[in-house]
Amino acid sequence: MAQFQKITPYLWFDHQAQEAAEYYTSLFPNSKITSVSSMIVEFELSGQKFIALNGGPQFKFTEAISFFVYCEDQKEVDYYWNCLTSEGGEESMCSWCKDKYGLSWQIVPKQLMEYLNSSNRERANNAMQAMLKMKKIIIALLDEAYNA
């Protein structure tokens, strides 16, 4: 029997659980599919366990749930953003996007979190205002706003 972590995201797909798991594991390092059956696929993304279900068309993903991807630099932001919005994915505002399955992601550079958590409220607000105008986060524009 598979070993379970205390809390595991459980994703409901119409019929694409294995396809989605293969797609996600191809994007993130330290990722793999650990178990496949006709109904359930267990996989890991960057060491985080997930379960995907072929549950039918009754339920769809909404923005009420998203996965936050913490990125080290612009290259990593660009990589995840471009991968997740390709092949039918959608861009949204303020670092949010949807992948081709309709699952929401937040692709967030570490600088954004540092700036928003700054004790200098004016500089933090400048970064927030810059972020609110962006879809994909551009670190150079955040830097410019924060340091203005």
| pLDDT (tens digit per residue) in 58-105 | 999 999 999 999 999 999 999 999 999 999 999 999 999 999 999 999
The CATH number that domain 7-59 falls under is 3.10.180.10
Query: Which residues of the chain form CATH 3.10.180.10?
Result: 7-59, 61-148
In this prediction, residue 2 has a pLDDT band, given cuts at 50, 70 and 90, of low
In the predicted structure, residue 38 carries a pLDDT above the cut 70: yes
In the chain, % of residues over pLDDT 90? 97
Q: Which CATH number fits domain 61-148: 3.40.50.2020, 3.40.1160.10, 3.10.180.10, 1.10.3130.10?
A: 3.10.180.10
In the predicted structure, residue 1 carries a pLDDT above the cut 90: no
pTM: 0.93
In this prediction, residue 54 has a pLDDT band, given cuts at 50, 70 and 90, of very high
Residue 60, C-beta contacts closer than 8 angstroms, at least 6 positions apart? 102
In the predicted structure, residue 3 carries a pLDDT above the cut 70: no
